[in-house]
Structure 1
Amino acid sequence: MTLQILLLLVGLVLLIKGADWMVSGASSLAKKYHVSDLAIGLTIVAFGTSAPELVVNVYSSLQGHHDLVFGNVIGSNNINLFVILGLAGLITPMVVQSSTVWKEIPLSLFAAVLLIVLANDWLFPNAHILSRLDGLILLALFGSFLFYVYKQLKTDKQEAAPEQKQFKPLQIWFLILVGMAGLVIGGRLVVTNAVSMATALGVSEKIIGLTIIALGTSLPELATSVVAALKKNNDIAVGNIIGSNIFNIFLILGVSSLLSPIEYNPVFNTDMLLLCFGTSLLFIAMFTGKKKKLDRWEAGLLLLIYVGYTIYIISQEI
């Protein structure tokens, strides 16, 4: 147990440092090529921080741990939305571009609703399977999302900030790639040792997926968004969360179901409805204010909702 705790702490250090390097590299890349931080946050940073979920889900899918596949993605998305965005919003109010409110957040909501429809197979009530065809649909939508971001790269420009430290191209990519490596390795160490500890205590696979694994694989998003918030880089903080949630459903579940059809347990519908509710709440919070902003009290509300949700799902297991 001592070794597991030590390795978990090493993983946390790698996650934090990897996130710091990735934010620095991604932000420098955005400034160097006059690309918005939001576009970089939605692609490079989102993919890098979603890498642990991809690794865990591919392994779980091939091994037939279906509850872990869905629990990891659904749990990670809920943690991203309620916990990570909530913490980032407490550090500094999240002011974002209007495209995030009108395009990326609704797309994230669409992804969640589509997953409910595809996984439940309401036309075939006894199925409840995310099939290979469903996987192809999700991957096609992921390709469309990448094309949208590519268009953003051409239309959403910003001038380089002269006061920011400028890195050479090799330094930028070194920061990004080493940061990604730190995130993946750190996430792996955290998840592996946390799961071993939880399994020894007799926790169910569903709860492990929704909590321990989801939290472990979400630590890169947590570290990245908190560091970005501390650096007042709201577009990367929010773009990372929204982008990761879109990546998790379209790419990670798309790849997982393409490798092997995944049986869906309808008990996850409650967790999916919470994700839809939270995403809708975020849209309303951003839409109703004078500025496209998530205030501190709204961020605190997100955290309180997640605390209540966690108490509920654990009580269901007792």
Structure 2
Amino acid sequence: MILSAACIVVGFASLIFGANWLVDGASSLAKKNKVSDLVIGLTIVAFGTSAPELVVNSVASYNGFSDIVFGNIIGSNNFNLFVILGLAGLIYPIKVQSSTAWREIPISLLVTLFLFVIANDFFIGQHPKISRGDGFFLFMGFIGFLYYVFKQLRFEKKEAIAPIDSSNYKIWGLMVIGIAGLLIGGKLVVDNGIAVATELGVSQKIIGLTIIAAGTSLPELVTSMVAALKKNSDIAIGNVIGSNIFNILLILSISSFVSPMRYNLNFNTDVLMLMGGTVFLMIAMFTGKRKKLDRWEAFVLLSSYLLYTTYLVTKEI
């Protein structure tokens, strides 16, 4: 257990350093290329921090573990929205750009609603599942989202900024090393956390509902918290919204290409929770300080997740 505990410490250190390097590299890349931090957060950072979900879900789909695939995606998205934005907003109120309030957050809601509809097969009447055909439509949605993001580049007007001394090699090197640190750190924390929990006699159900569910979201968690500490709101919220969209449109579509997956209707409650949280985030943009996630709103997000998780755990015991 001592070795596992030590590995957990090393894992968290890797997560923290990796997040620092990724945020610094991403911010430098944005400034050097006169691209907004939000675009970088919605794309490169979001994809990098979603890599654990991609690996876990591809393997789970290949082995026929549909519940792990859906549980990981839906659980990670809820964790991203309620916990990561909640903690980041408590650290520093998150100022949100108009495009995020009016377009990116609604897109995230529509994507979740689309998942709810196709997973339940409302219009076909078959057994609930995500087929390869459904995956194709999800993947086309992902291509459409990328087109939308890069189309915004033409309309951005960046203020003049001082030249960035770092070379492209150094910037990309920081980002690659940062993502590697997040992946390695996340794996160390998850694997050794499971080992410690098992040795302490914690049931596999509880381990799955806590360590595994949150484990693949550790990169997003640390990255957004570091971004909040650096007062870089665009990367903090872009990482979360981008990751949630990536998880459904890209990772779920790839998982369905590997193998079609039956959908457990018990996940509907979790999907509705995700939609409700996204609606709350949209409303929060126009209450209190407009286009800003205030600390009290962040507290509501975090508290809601803790209450909901307590309910799930007590129901499963």
Structure-2-length-normalised TM-score: 0.94
Structure 2 counterpart of 1:250: 249
Structure 1 counterpart of 2:297: 298
Structure 1 counterpart of 2:117: 117
1-structure distance, mates of 2:87, 2:10: 23
Structure 2 counterpart of 1:105: 105
Alignment partner of 1:122: what SS? coil
Counterpart amino acid of residue 234 in structure 2: D
Structure 1 counterpart of 2:223: 224
Structure 2 counterpart of 1:266: 265
1-structure distance, mates of 2:59, 2:68: 10
Structure 2 counterpart of 1:31: 31
Deviation string 1:263-313 (CA, Å, 9 cap, x unpaired) is: 111111111100000000000000334531111000011111011001110
2-structure distance, mates of 1:154, 1:208: 46
Q: Shift of residue 168 of structure 1?
A: 1.7
2-structure distance, mates of 1:262, 1:291: 41
Whether the 8 Å CA contact 1:138–1:249 is kept in 2: the answer is yes
Alignment partner of 1:150: what SS? helix
Distance 1:196 1:153, change over 3 A: farther
Q: Shift of residue 12 of structure 1?
A: 1.5
Q: Shift of residue 248 of structure 1?
A: 0.6
Q: CA RMSD in A?
A: 1.7
Matches within 5 A, 1:158-197: 158-159=158-159, 161-162=161-162, 166-197=165-196
2-structure distance, mates of 1:282, 1:297: 12
Q: Shift of residue 199 of structure 1?
A: 5.7
Counterpart amino acid of residue 251 in structure 2: I
2-structure distance, mates of 1:211, 1:271: 14
Unpaired runs of at least 5, structure 1: none
Structure 1 counterpart of 2:43: 43
2-structure distance, mates of 1:9, 1:54: 24
Counterpart amino acid of residue 305 in structure 1: S
Deviation string 1:141-195 (CA, Å, 9 cap, x unpaired) is: 0000011111122222423543x96422111011011111111122222223334
Structure-1-length-normalised TM-score: 0.94
Deviation string 1:103-134 (CA, Å, 9 cap, x unpaired) is: 10001001111111111112455511111111
Counterpart amino acid of residue 264 in structure 1: Y
Q: Shift of residue 196 of structure 1?
A: 4.3
Structure 1 counterpart of 2:204: 203
Distance 1:269 1:196, change over 3 A: farther
Whether the 8 Å CA contact 2:120–2:129 is kept in 1: the answer is yes
Whether the 8 Å CA contact 1:68–1:209 is kept in 2: the answer is no
Deviating beyond 4 angstroms after TM superposition, the runs of 4 or more aligned structure 1 residues are: 196-200, 207-210
Whether the 8 Å CA contact 2:85–2:237 is kept in 1: the answer is yes
Unpaired runs of at least 5, structure 2: none
Q: Shift of residue 16 of structure 1?
A: 1.2
Higher mean C-alpha deviation, range 282-291 or range 95-104: 282-291
Higher mean C-alpha deviation, range 10-19 or range 26-35: 10-19
2-structure distance, mates of 1:293, 1:32: 27
Whether the 8 Å CA contact 2:32–2:164 is kept in 1: the answer is no
1-structure distance, mates of 2:114, 2:284: 23
Matches within 5 A, 1:88-167: 88-125=88-125, 127-159=127-159, 161-162=161-162, 166-167=165-166
Counterpart amino acid of residue 83 in structure 2: V
Deviation string 1:50-81 (CA, Å, 9 cap, x unpaired) is: 01111111111111221111111111111110
Counterpart amino acid of residue 80 in structure 2: N
2-structure distance, mates of 1:160, 1:75: 41
Counterpart amino acid of residue 14 in structure 2: L
Alignment partner of 1:287: what SS? coil
Alignment partner of 2:203: what SS? coil
Alignment identity in percent?
A: 61
2-structure distance, mates of 1:110, 1:101: 14
Deviation string 1:12-50 (CA, Å, 9 cap, x unpaired) is: 211111110000000001000110000000001000110
Whether the 8 Å CA contact 1:67–1:209 is kept in 2: the answer is no
1-structure distance, mates of 2:211, 2:138: 26
Structure 1 counterpart of 2:84: 84
Count of residues paired in the alignment = 315
Counterpart amino acid of residue 133 in structure 2: L
Q: Shift of residue 9 of structure 1?
A: 2.3
Distance 1:15 1:167, change over 3 A: same
Counterpart amino acid of residue 103 in structure 2: K
Alignment partner of 1:291: what SS? coil
Whether the 8 Å CA contact 1:49–1:221 is kept in 2: the answer is yes
Counterpart amino acid of residue 202 in structure 1: S
Counterpart amino acid of residue 315 in structure 2: Q
